[in-house]
Structures are given as structure tokens and as C-alpha cells.
Amino acid sequence: MRQLVLGGVRSGKSRYAEQLAKSFNLPVTYIATARAGDEEMLVRIQQHQAYRPADWATLELPDQTLPERLAGLMQQPRVILLDCLTLWLTQLLCAAPLSDDLLQEVDKVLDALVAVVAAGGQAELIMVGNETGLGIMPIDSLSRAFGDRAGLLHQRLAEVCERVVFAVAGIPLTVKAGC
């Protein structure tokens, strides 16, 4: 099964996804996409690490190699917990100065990720992302490029996932319930 868990900052989405991953009683591979760009982010990452069970394998994939690595993992009977799609997208967009070429390259990587998820496999896949489309229209071009791509990525993934959950105030709300 492919699942997408969305929510705002501190909505409980990661905690919910981690509990869901434990419920399968299969080996878990945690794909971490965050980079610690400052001390506060380092603390956040450490909190996530401390909460995860010690027997979970962790892969750090904060770059464009994510789709290819995920494709291989999907062929194994296990749980894959990918946290967080929007941090990953941010890093792709900030890898170089904003330009049409960068946006085209990012779009290709997003297309590759959607294709891998759509193809499925033996693994139980749980993806976590920040819902960013509930605010105002951003004033700068980088923020607009991010918002556009995050929203479209979430829509495309929700279409191919069997289940979509939206976390609000620590409460998971099922938006799409599939097989």
C-alpha cells in the first residue's frame, strides 16, 4: 500500500506516520530528507532520531538521488517511511540560484518520484509532507515555485496512493481510503 500523510508544521503527521510504520510488523527503512542548515534544525532532526526505534534502518537522501534509491527499495518486503517530501523539495529548489533550467531539472526529478510511487512494489510506502497550500500567495518567486511544485506533487502522489491522511492538531483525518 502507498500512503501519503500531510499536515502543517507540528500537526502530528510524522508521529502518526511513525506509529503506522510500526504497525506493519515488518523491517522499516526510514528515508530522511532533512539537512541541518542551522542549530535549530539540528535539534529537530535529533528529536526525530531519538523517537525512532533503534532497529530501523536510516537512509539520508536529501537530493535528486531519492527516486532512483526509492525504486530499488520498493522491490523489497518492508516498510519505507519517507519524511519529508517538502523538505526534500526545498533542498532541490535551493541547490542553485532560481532559474528556468533549475525548475526544469526539479520538475524532472519530481516526475521521476511520482513514476516510482505509481509503479509500486512489494514495500509498504508511507510518505510525509507539509501541506503548504492553506496560506496566502507568496510574494517572492522562489516561494511561489515551491508552493506550486509542492501542491502539484501532493496532488499527483495522492492520485496514485491508496490512502491519504491529513493530520490536524495531532488527529489523523482520512482523506482517501483505498483498498
Choosing from 48, 52, 78, 154, which is the catalytic residue?
48
> What does the alpha-carbon distance between residue 109 and residue 68 come to, in Å, rounded to a whole number?
10
Task: Compute the distance between CA of residue 127 and CA of residue 130 in angstroms, rounded to an integer.
Answer: 10
Q: Which secondary structure element, helix H or strand E, spans residue 100, and what is its range?
A: helix 100-119
Report d(CA 144, CA 133) in Å as an integer.
Answer: 10
48 an active-site residue?
yes
Max CA pair span of the chain: 45
Residues shown for the chain: 179
Q: Which of 27, 92, 38 is nearest to 61 (CA)?
A: 92
Q: Which residues are CB-neighbours of 34 under 8 A, at least 6 positions away? A: 41, 44, 45, 48, 62, 84, 87
Please tell me the distance from the alpha carbon of residue 130 to that of residue 124, in angstroms, as a whole number. 20
Write out the catalytic residue numbers.
Answer: 48
